[in-house]
Amino acid sequence: MTMTETEFKESIAETIIQIEDALEELDNGIDYESSDGILTIFMINKSQIIINRQTAALQLWLAAKSGGYHFDFDEQKGWLDDRTGDAFLAVLNRCLTDQSGETIELELS
């Protein structure tokens, strides 16, 4: 079953809220800003990670120093990288760890 555009936007909004909540739990100086389906994470070293929705493709996109990642939604497994099949949270945690220089493992509800 394909997700509708409304379901897609709701899913992205919920994912962004969960990431914001998880970032709030950290005490390491990482900041963020969210606006209209775009979440920008500001690292202490001035690098950024940007998470946004790509409505036309019904994808969740993540841009980091290591590259750009596109995720498709799987009803059983959640957001999966369209090239590697890696879970979104695993890729986000890897990018956060790489760009911060410390191990970061967010947990989303």
Q: Strands 67-74, 48-54: parallel, antiparallel or unpaired by DSSP?
A: unpaired
pTM (2 d.p.): 0.94
Which residues in the chain belong to E strands, given as ranges?
Answer: 31-35, 38-42, 48-54, 59-64, 67-74, 78-81
pLDDT of residue 63: 98
| Regions in the chain scoring below 70 on pLDDT | 1
Residue 53: how many CB atoms within 10 A of its CB?
21
Which residues are CB-contacts of 9 (< 8 A; sequence separation ≥ 6)? 37, 53, 55
| pLDDT recorded at residue 1 | 61
Q: Which domains does the chain have, with CATH numbers?
A: 5-100 (3.30.920.10)
Give pLDDT, residue 64. 98
